[in-house]
């Protein structure tokens, strides 16, 4: 006996096909692959019910169950309506970021159903009329995006399939600080908020006028801190190096600028790292500086 499940109206490919005692899904609709099954035991009892796993919004609609034997055939239709009940969850604590870094603003569906076919909108709070990032009908729709976010926002297509609508924001700026809303809509809708706090800049290393022959003087500087962080110099193995006293300056807006110098031998190869550390927020950013004889290279690290 042949059992064929298809969508109505038929698009050509099938949802599930059983024929001559075997599954024949060579012509199966791609979105149903690995998600359909008939029960061999139930088929013996005349039960051709289809099991569909991982139901998605796109599965909604009418289906036809067609059964054919050598002597006759018949079919019946089934209407499937999807009711997606979900919560949108965000972090309970603020996201702390260093200016210039890349961050992820968490936003998840509970349960972890696919958000591929949903409307996902990130915006600032209070809403200004323009969006931070807009995803709709499986496409990025950023025509109404706030100009300062252009080219800096992204959702992961793979993570959306898992119900993860977290927003990646690159090149964080001081103006990015504030409250964000993650709004997700299907037949139902919900939202969650994320608070972003921007701390000072990554440490910048510069080489000053040579201290004396065979030695170099390096200055590490980090700006824009509302809380005074620690500034340390480390060797290539991560051990603390003796350095000058940390200079602290406070500007008219009460933000700290931290500076600290170190004097080192100009060896053939010598790598040092300047790390800025805010212990109470578990926030750390560092920049490495390599001295290689005549050449010097600077590299930032997360």
Q: Is the pTM of this model over 0.85?
A: no
What's the domain range around 47? 2-80
CB–CB of 273/242 below 8 Å? Answer: no
Residues 6 and 49 in one domain: yes
Give the pLDDT of the chain (302 residues) as one tens digit per residue: 999 999 999 888 999 999 999 999 999 999 999 999 999 999 999 999 999 998 887 899 999 999 999 899 999 999 998 877 899 999 999 998 877 789 999 999 999 989 999 999 999 999 988 999 999 999 999 999 999 999 999 999 999 999 999 999 998 887 899 999 999 998 889 999 999 988 788 888 998 866 577 788 899 999 888 788 899 999 888 899 999 999 999 888 778 899 999 988 776 557 899 998 877 666 777 888 887 655 444 444 44
Residues 238 and 140 in one domain: no
Residues 181 and 94 in one domain: yes
Task: Determine the Cα–Cα distance for residues 120 and 183; give it in Å rounded to an integer.
Answer: 6
DSSP string, the chain: -EEEEEEES--SSBSEEEETTEE--TTB-GGGTTSEE--HHHHHTT--PPEE-S--GGG-EEEEEEEE-SS-EEEEEEEE------EEE--SSPEEEEETS-EEE--EEES----TTSEEEEEEES--SSBSEEEETTEE--TTB-GGGTTSEE--HHHHTTTB-PEEE-S--GGG-EEEEEEEESSSEEEEEEEEEEEEEPPEEEE-S--STTEEEEEEEEEEESS--EEEEE-TTS-B---PPPEEEE-TTS-EEEEEEEEEE--SSEEEEEEEEEGGGTEEEEEEEEEETTEEEEEEE-
Task: Determine the Cα–Cα distance for residues 269 and 291; give it in Å rounded to an integer.
Answer: 6
Task: Determine the Cα–Cα distance for residues 137 and 61; give it in Å rounded to an integer.
Answer: 17
pLDDT for res 211: 58
pLDDT for res 136: 96
Task: Determine the Cα–Cα distance for residues 7 and 59; give it in Å rounded to an integer.
Answer: 9
pLDDT for res 280: 64
Report the DSSP beta bridge partners of residue 198: 97
pLDDT for res 292: 66
Which two tokens mark 123? 């915006």
CATH code (residue 68): 2.60.40.10
Last residue of a domain, one of 35, 64, 80: 80
pLDDT for res 116: 93
Residues 114 and 159 in one domain: yes
Q: How far apart are the first and last CA of the chain?
A: 62
Last residue of a domain, one of 80, 113, 137: 80
Residues 96 and 164 in one domain: yes
CB–CB of 83/73 below 8 Å? Answer: no
| Total tally of structural domains belonging to the chain | 3
Q: How far is CA 162 from CA 54, 116, 166, 220, 240, in A?
A: 11, 9, 11, 42, 43
pLDDT for res 210: 62
Residues 239 and 289 in one domain: yes
Residues ≥6 apart with Cβ < 8 Å to 125 = 178, 179, 180, 181, 193
Residues 113 and 184 in one domain: yes
pLDDT for res 128: 86
pLDDT for res 219: 93
């Amino acid at each position: 006996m042949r059992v064929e499940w298809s969508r109505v109206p038929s698009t050509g490919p099938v949802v599930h096909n059983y024929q001559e005692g075997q599954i024949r899904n060579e012509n199966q609709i791609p979105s149903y692959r690995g998600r359909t099954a008939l029960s061999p035991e139930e088929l013996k009892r005349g039960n051709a019910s289809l099991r569909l796993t991982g139901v998605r919004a796109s599965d909604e609609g009418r289906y036809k169950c067609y059964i054919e034997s050598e002597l006759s055939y018949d079919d019946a239709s089934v209407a499937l309506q999807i009711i997606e009940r979900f919560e949108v969850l965000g972090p309970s604590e603020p996201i702390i970021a260093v200016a210039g870094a890349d961050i992820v603003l968490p936003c998840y569906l509970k349960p972890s159903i696919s958000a591929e076919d949903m409307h996902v909108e990130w915006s600032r709070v209070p809403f200004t009329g323009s969006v931070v990032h807009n995803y709709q009908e499986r496409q990025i729709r950023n025509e109404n995006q706030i100009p300062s976010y252009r080219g800096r926002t992204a959702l992961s297509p793979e993570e959306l399939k898992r119900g993860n609508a977290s927003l990646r924001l690159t090149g964080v700026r001081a103006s990015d600080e504030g409250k964000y809303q993650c709004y997700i809509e299907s037949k139902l809708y919900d939202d969650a908020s994320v608070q972003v706090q921007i701390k000072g800049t990554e440490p910048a290393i510069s080489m000053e006028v040579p201290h004396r022959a065979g030695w170099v003087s390096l200055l590490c500087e980090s700006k824009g801190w509302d809380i005074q962080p620690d500034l340390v110099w480390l060797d290539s193995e991560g051990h603390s190096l003796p350095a000058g006293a940390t200079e602290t300056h406070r500007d008219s807006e009460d933000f700290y600028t931290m500076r600290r110098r170190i004097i080192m031998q100009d060896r053939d190869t010598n790598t040092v790292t300047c790390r800025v550390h805010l212990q109470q927020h578990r926030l750390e950013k560092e920049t490495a500086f390599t001295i290689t004889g005549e050449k010097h290279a600077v590299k930032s690290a997360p």
